[in-house]
Amino acid sequence: MGDSLLAEPLLWLIGASEIGFWIFMVAGLAARYVLRRERLGAALLLGVPLMDVVLIVASTVDLAGGGEPNRVHGLAAVYLGLTVAFGHSLVRWADVRFAHRFAGGPAPVKPPRGGPARTRYEWREFGKVVVAWGIAAAVLVLLTVVGGREFPGPAQWPADPMWSWLGTVSVVAGIWFVVGPLWATVLPGSADSGRERTRV
């Protein structure tokens, strides 16, 4: 992997993609709600998914050109999964707040604290985790094929520089499932009950 991970151009591209994500999002929403330039705002917001396209193309070209698969390629796959699965929700979250602050839009609604609404919310959020996992896995498959390597089995993931990331994401997804949708399903009224007790 070279002298250091910091010497990997792809790692710098991931950082640039993250910075670009926030720049395009904030600039797009500012143009839409502060400058009242709807078309300019829409054009700038198109740069958010464009960063993902640049990253996947760069990762693929790197391996196709003979690059050695490493942890940075795996990180790129996970990053793509997370940005695709959660990016739209994050933009929508920011959009509501910009609209409220600069365009007289309704105040942001907080997530439900308990009951069936909270359960549905937790399952919906966990669904994004599943989507992120699936996209990361698909990108790893693509990078493995492009790199001309054999597919490692799950037992081999920890030792594989790229696929070890999917093992890490699987653990995170399992923990998220337990503390999120499973907990909300088993104890759907726990948050509401706790809130009611604090009011007494």
Cα→Cα distances 16→24, 104, 146, Å: 12, 33, 24
Is 90 exceeded by the pLDDT of residue 35?
yes
Q: What is the pLDDT of residues 48-67, one digit of tens each?
A: 888 888 889 998 988 888 88
* pLDDT score, position 67: 82
With respect to residue 177, please indicate whether it lies within any of the assigned structural domains.
yes
Q: Which pTM does this prediction carry?
A: 0.85
The residue segments making up the domain with residue 170 are 5-194
Is 60 exceeded by the pLDDT of residue 184?
yes
With respect to residue 22, please indicate whether it lies within any of the assigned structural domains.
yes
* pLDDT score, position 74: 93
With respect to residue 199, please indicate whether it lies within any of the assigned structural domains.
no
* Calpha distance 169→194 (Å, rounded): 31
Is 80 exceeded by the pLDDT of residue 116?
yes
With respect to residue 115, please indicate whether it lies within any of the assigned structural domains.
yes
With respect to residue 149, please indicate whether it lies within any of the assigned structural domains.
yes
* For the chain, percent of residues with pLDDT exceeding 90: 67
- DSSP-H helix ranges across the chain: 9-33, 38-45, 47-64, 71-102, 115-146, 164-177, 183-186, 190-199
* pLDDT score, position 22: 94
Confidence band, pLDDT 50/70/90 cuts, at residue 11: confident
Q: How many domains does the chain have?
A: 1
With respect to residue 57, please indicate whether it lies within any of the assigned structural domains.
yes
With respect to residue 200, please indicate whether it lies within any of the assigned structural domains.
no
* pLDDT score, position 194: 37
* pLDDT score, position 174: 97
With respect to residue 40, please indicate whether it lies within any of the assigned structural domains.
yes
